[in-house]
Amino acid sequence: MMNATASALRQCSIAATLSLIGEKWTILILRDVFHGVTRFDDFLRRLECSPAVLSARLKTLTEAGLLRKVGYREPGERERFEYRPTRAAVELLPVLIGLMQWGDSHMTSCGEGPVQIRSQASGKLVRAALVDEDGELVSPRDMQIVPVGPRRTEGEP
């Protein structure tokens, strides 16, 4: 939408998604949203970016359906706004967690990061992985890429 070429966007959902969340501050906003941050001023203090950039990114994320801006008013106060993650944002969590864990493993000296992800229900550690239709783990070395394209019958050219 903002940077990647039309050709790349047309052909590649990876590029399309990255053109949305790959900008410098966008991913950090999402991270903070999942940490429970909801208000403009709190983002501003935590991220230490310019208000113009923050405003622009929040707008992009909202328009893309990743955040929802809701107004609320506590009794006796004036209206405030919250930015809350949508279902689409939650569905990005495997990607965000995968990015975090890859960086922890490959880009830090100690091989671990400052936070862990756990299941609320069970308390067990959680990681991003590949699974098949039955929920069974699959090794990343065991992948094949299959074009689906315009449907064809079985024995095509």
Q: Fill in the per-residue mask, 63 to 102: x = in contact with DNA (CB under 7 A), - = not in contact.
A: ------x----------xx---------------------
Residues 108-137 that bind DNA (CB under 7 A): none
Amino acid at 26: T
CA–CA distance, 72 with 84 (Å, rounded to integer): 12
Residues 11-40 that bind a second copy (CB under 8 A): 11-20, 22-24, 27-28, 31, 34-35
Our finding on whether 42 is near DNA (CB under 7 A) is: yes
- 137-138/80-85 β-pairing: unpaired
Tell me which of a second copy, DNA, none is bound by residue 41, counting a contact when its beta carbon lies within the kind-specific cut-off of 5 to 8 angstroms. Answer: DNA
Q: Which stretch, 19-27, 87-95, 107-115, 117-125, contacts DNA (CB under 7 A)?
A: 19-27
End-to-end CA distance of the chain: 36
Residues 108-137 that bind a second copy (CB under 8 A): 108, 112-122, 124-137
Give the nearer residue to a second copy in terms of CB position, either 149 or 155: 149
Minimum distance from CB of 86 to a second copy (Å)?
10
# chain residues binding DNA, by CB under 7 A = 22
Q: At what angle are helices 40-47 and 51-63 packed, to 10 degrees?
A: 120
Residue the block writes with tokens 């991913």: 27
Residues 48-87 that bind a second copy (CB under 8 A): 48, 65
At 110, list the tokens.
Answer: 């100690």
3-state secondary structure of 32: helix
Please enumerate in sequence order all residues whose Cβ is within 8 A of that of 128, keeping only pairs 6 or more positions apart, or say none: 94, 95, 97, 98, 101
Backbone angles phi, psi at 81, to 5 degrees: -130, 145
Footprint of DNA (CB under 7 A): 2-3, 5, 23-25, 39-42, 49-53, 55, 57-59, 69, 80-81
